[in-house]
Amino acid sequence: KNQVEQSPQSLIILEGKNCTLQCNYTVSPFSNLRWYKQDTGRGPVSLTIMTFSENTKSNGRYTATLDADTKQSSLHITASQLSDSASYICVVSGRSNDYKLSFGAGTTVTVRA
Amino acid sequence: EAGVAQSPRYKIIEKRQSVAFWCNPISGHATLYWYQQILGQGPKLLIQFQNNGVVDDSQLPKDRFSAERLKGVDSTLKIQPAKLEDSAVYLCASSSGRGLGELFFGEGSRLTVL
């Protein structure tokens, strides 16, 4: 069964600090990995999409890394802001089974002033 | 470009009642998804359409849930009769490609079953 595991489940950081979220997956064969940001009461919004050949991608203060060999990804948030408080969801697409998307449970980030 | 539209945003019903949610995807997107998101969890796929055909409904509780996308554009998800455990946010998403293109989500419809 294809799985996506995220850690930590939640974290609290002070405004201006950095943090890193982890995503481990077993989806194989791999197609792409996405990170989404979901504000409370809103739908998820895409931050990055990475394919097998990409090992890092940035979107402003968000930087995602991918190690397809170890099946691990991370999302680094630099100089956190209050607006970064949200749930961050890792989604992996496999090349088999019609590119089915597997979702992680998300990491809830709370940024405090 | 208009995003994915969903309605209603909120719905409160009693168990055994019925409810319907509507979704209008981004224009031109052939793939439409319905997800169920329970508080604290990631979205769980209920059904995936490619145009007006069903690609995957393996996790749809077919005894009470139904969905259609008759003209390959907008879609309706129905629950009848609702159970307490159906309380969740129902997210609609659309994409121009199956699992390859970027996925765009609507704001969701929050259902509370009392």
User: Which stretch of DSSP H or E encloses residue B31?
Assistant: strand B31-37
Q: Are B107 and B21 in contact (CB under 8 A)?
A: no
Under an 8 A CB cutoff, do B42 and A106 touch? Answer: yes
In the prediction, which pLDDT does B99 show?
64
What sign has the CA pseudo-torsion A23, A28, A32, A37?
negative
Nearest CA in chain B to A36: B103
- CB < 8 Å to A32, chain B: 99-100
CA dist., res. A45 & res. B30, Å (int): 19
Q: Are A43 and B108 in contact (CB under 8 A)?
A: yes
Q: Is A31 on the interface with B (CB under 8 A)?
A: yes
Nearest CA in chain A to B99: A99
What sign has the CA pseudo-torsion B62, B97, B38, B73?
negative
Q: Is A68 on the interface with B (CB under 8 A)?
A: no
- Phi and psi at A2, nearest 5°, equal -70, 130
Whether the bond into B61 is cis, omega within 30 of 0: no
Query: How confident is chain A (113 residues) per 10-residue block, as mean pLDDT?
Result: 89 97 93 95 94 93 96 97 97 82 95 97
Q: Is B105 on the interface with A (CB under 8 A)?
A: yes
In the prediction, which pLDDT does A29 show?
87
Under an 8 A CB cutoff, do B42 and A89 touch? Answer: yes
Nearest to A9 by CA among A104, A80, A79, A112: A104
List, for residues B14-64, the tens digit of each pLDDT value: 999 999 999 999 999 999 999 999 998 999 999 999 988 999 999 999 999
Reported as a pLDDT band with limits 50, 70 and 90, residue B1 is low
pLDDT average, residue stretch B79-107: 91
Under an 8 A CB cutoff, do A44 and B105 touch? Answer: yes
How many secondary structure helices (H) and strands (E) does chain A include? 0, 11
Nearest CA in chain A to B97: A99
CA dist., res. B11 & res. B87, Å (int): 10
Q: Percent of chain B scored above 70 by pLDDT? A: 96
Strand order in the sheet with B65-68: B5-7, B19-24, B75-79, B65-68
Whether the bond into A44 is cis, omega within 30 of 0: no
In the prediction, which pLDDT does B71 show?
86
CA dist., res. A80 & res. A19, Å (int): 8
Nearest to B30 by CA among B49, B11, B12: B49
